Structure formats: structure tokens, C-alpha cells
């Protein structure tokens, strides 16, 4: 990770095209996205609002307040994508504050839920490309993933949550991925 690069630790709207807002502080992305979706609904705009969050971030209470508001307002043009890799900084999500059954939690807040293999790009494109019109509720896509998949020393390894590879590790990772 390099400061001011397009691919730093958290998406930055100043450096990455298509990002509407910065969400580095955990728990801010979904509430901001809900506000954007509410604005679209109130003004009659038909744009879609997407937010990508991780399962570790879902331990922040502001996300559940936002989910409750989104379900209540039937924000069908809002899509939440949860990277369900079961790792967060320092430990596994289930060891710190269990989230299961995650799909039932989202349904309880009024969301339509799709659970997919997050490594299956075709499945992800299918679910994200579906027309939300008439669904009458927001969508939560739980993308089950393995953090670091395809790189032997990073795969499912909590130490790499914030790890930055040195030159040799980078070369090895690229060799394993290509």
C-alpha cells in the first residue's frame, strides 16, 4: 500500500474513480449509502446505490441502524455487498462477536438476501445486474470469500488482514496468482 495510490487501505474518492464517498472509519459506508438511496427515492431518481462492506465492519452498530432504516423505507435500489471472509483485524469474526445467522439478520431488517460464492464473478455479476424494480426491498448480497485466496501464505491468514508484502512475497504472490 502506498499513500495516495488508487489502491490504498480504504477506497478514497479523491484517487479512485466511481467512489462517491470515503468510508475508512468502520461503520460509515452503509449509513451514508442509505442516505444517498433515500435522497434518490425522494427526488424520483432511479440510480442504484451500492455499498461494499466486510463482515468485521458489521460489528459496528451504526450499520444495523442503517439496515433498519433501509428496510423500513423499502429502498429497493440499494444493494449491500458483504464480503463474508470471517476474518477481521486480529482474529476471526466469530471469535470476537459472532454474526451467524447473518442472512437471517438481514432478512429481519427487511432485505432480500442472496448468498453467493464471492469468488464466482459470473454469479456476482448476475445478482448485481438484476433489475431491482418491483422488488420492494433492499438487497443484501452475502459474498462468501476466503481472504487472500490463491496465495498460499496469505490465504485465510488473519496476519494478512493489514499485511503489506515485501518484494519477494509480492513476486511469489504474483507467481501463484498468474
**Residues 157-177: tens digit of each pLDDT:** 999 988 889 999 999 999 999
Q: Is pLDDT at 5 greater than 90 in this prediction?
A: no
- Using the predicted structure, report yes or no on whether residue 11 has a pLDDT greater than 80: no
Q: Where are the alpha helices (DSSP H) in the chain?
A: 29-43, 61-72, 93-97, 102-108, 121-129, 167-177
Domains of the chain by range and CATH? 29-145 (3.40.50.970)
Of the candidates 18, 79, 21, 33, the one whose C-alpha atom is nearest the C-alpha of residue 10 is 21
Is residue 15's pLDDT more than 70?
A: yes
**pLDDT, tens only, 36-76:** 999 999 999 999 999 999 999 999 999 999 999 999 999 99
- Kindly report whether the peptide bond that precedes residue 113 is cis, defined as omega within 30 degrees of 0: no
Residue where the block lists cell 483485524: 89
Amino acid at each position: 500500500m502506498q499513500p495516495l495510490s488508487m489502491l490504498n487501505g480504504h477506497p478514497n474518492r479523491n484517487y479512485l474513480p466511481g467512489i462517491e464517498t470515503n468510508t475508512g472509519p468502520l461503520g460509515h459506508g452503509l449509513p451514508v449509502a442509505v442516505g444517498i438511496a433515500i435522497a434518490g427515492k425522494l427526488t424520483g431518481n432511479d440510480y442504484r446505490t451500492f455499498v461494499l462492506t466486510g463482515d468485521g465492519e458489521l460489528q459496528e452498530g451504526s450499520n444495523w441502524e442503517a439496515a433498519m432504516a433501509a428496510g423500513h423505507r423499502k429502498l429497493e435500489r440499494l444493494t449491500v455487498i458483504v464480503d463474508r471472509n470471517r476474518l477481521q483485524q486480529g482474529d476471526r469474526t466469530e471469535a470476537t462477536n459472532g454474526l451467524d445467522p447473518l442472512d437471517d439478520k438481514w432478512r429481519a431488517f427487511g432485505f432480500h438476501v442472496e448468498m453467493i460464492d464471492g469468488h464466482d464473478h459470473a454469479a456476482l455479476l448476475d445478482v448485481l445486474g438484476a433489475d431491482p424494480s418491483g422488488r420492494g426491498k433492499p438487497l443484501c448480497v452475502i459474498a462468501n470469500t476466503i481472504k487472500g485466496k490463491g496465495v498460499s501464505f496469505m490465504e485465510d491468514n488473519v496476519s494478512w488482514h493489514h499485511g503489506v508484502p515485501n518484494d519477494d512475497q509480492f513476486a511469489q504472490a504474483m507467481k501463484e496468482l498468474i
